[in-house]
Amino acid sequence: MRLLVTGAAGFIGSNFARFWLDDHPGDHVVAYDLLTYAGNRATLADLDDRLVFVQGDIADGDLAERVVRDEEIDTIVNFAAESHNSLAVIDPARFFRTNVLGTQTLLDVARAVGVARFHHVSTCEVYGDLPLDSDDAFTEDHPYRPRTPYNASKAGADHAVRAYHETYGLPVTITNCSNNYGPFQFPEKVIPLFVTNALDDKPLPLYEATQNKREWLHVDDHCRAIELVLENGRIGETYNVGSGREASIEELADRILELTGKPSDLRTIVPDRPGHDRRYLLDSTRLRRELGWEPRWEFEEGLADTVRWYAAHREWWEPLKQRAPVEETAWR
């Protein structure tokens, strides 16, 4: 394949580029990223001799089309997105511009060039949330009920991808994933935030709703799922990617403090974010039955490995701590 990986200097995109080159060393990979505050060129430094890097905006159709044509791209994997819910509360316009209009622009490029596959990476959050006392899980047929500007912008992108398949016959697939964790995640997200704060003996900010739950998926398992969808997924289909392992924010904080050997009094309570979702859980039966996917990382093992990675890579995350564009509770 000849892949354009958008958002490739971000967390999941960089892990995917590294994963793909390791598993498919003969393939051609173009890493495309605007390098916003969360895009870190250093994350790809060890891959410089194995891929082509282009700094660019997915909303820049002229540049994106030129790159796709010049590099003879046949497959686009779209990770590019604004993704931080707290920032979306403060500045929703940037989320709709990148996540909806940027995706739509990239779809136009894919259609104009005639790529063999456009794969779009989405989130469980488009479905809304679930009650904490429920055993329910979101299937791919669950109605979209986004509750925050970020969720709504990702939902809009998903609808655009489906529309381009139905209207123009563009060969698309979509994956909706649960919360990812692992190496190279920008330290505004909860796991790297808690880990790096704990390592520096700083408070771990827990929202008041400390029992709210998330389903946790190791980024390597997510990358393998996308690989299977690209190779064997049905055109026009959506696949949920979830581990089935839930953990509350309180459980997460306690486990990270235990793994770092730090005291429990580092936990501090902060006001809830507006629209704070209670719980997400994905039913990934379709992906497991059709494509044979299973997660390889147990959460406890994966979290411990992630903590060790951040402890060993201060030179990567320390310069990023001051780049986060929003403080929690800034909406108050």
Domain ranges for the chain, please list them: 2-181+216-241
Residue closest to 209 by CA, chosen among 125, 273, 145, 256: 273
d(CA 322, CA 320) in angstroms, rounded, equals: 5
Residue 195 has what pLDDT? 98
| pTM to 2 decimal places | 0.95
pLDDT tens digits for 70-118? 999 999 999 999 988 888 889 999 999 999 999 999 999 999 999 999 9
Q: H or E stretch including 5?
A: strand 2-6
Residue 133 has what pLDDT? 87
Other C-beta atoms lying within 10 Å of the C-beta of residue 36:
17
Cα 60 to the center of its chain, rounded Å: 21
DSSP-based three-state secondary structure for 118: strand
Residue 122 near residue 150, CB atoms below 8 Å: no
Residue 276 has what pLDDT? 78
Compute the Cα dihedral for 170, 173, 178, 182 and give only its sign: negative
**What topology is assigned to 2-181+216-241 in CATH?**
Rossmann fold (3.40.50)
For the chain, the farthest-separated pair of C-alpha atoms sits apart, in whole angstroms, at 57
Residue 298 has what pLDDT? 97
Residue 223 token pair: 């990358």
Residue 104 has what pLDDT? 98
Residue 86 near residue 149, CB atoms below 8 Å: no
DSSP-based three-state secondary structure for 6: strand
d(CA 292, CA 226) in angstroms, rounded, equals: 12
Q: Any bridge partners for residue 122, and if so which? A: 176
Residue closest to 220 by CA, chosen among 307, 291, 302: 302
Residue 271 has what pLDDT? 84
Residues in the chain predicted with pLDDT less than 50, given as ranges, are: none
Q: H or E stretch including 16?
A: helix 11-23
Residue 332 has what pLDDT? 61
DSSP-based three-state secondary structure for 103: helix
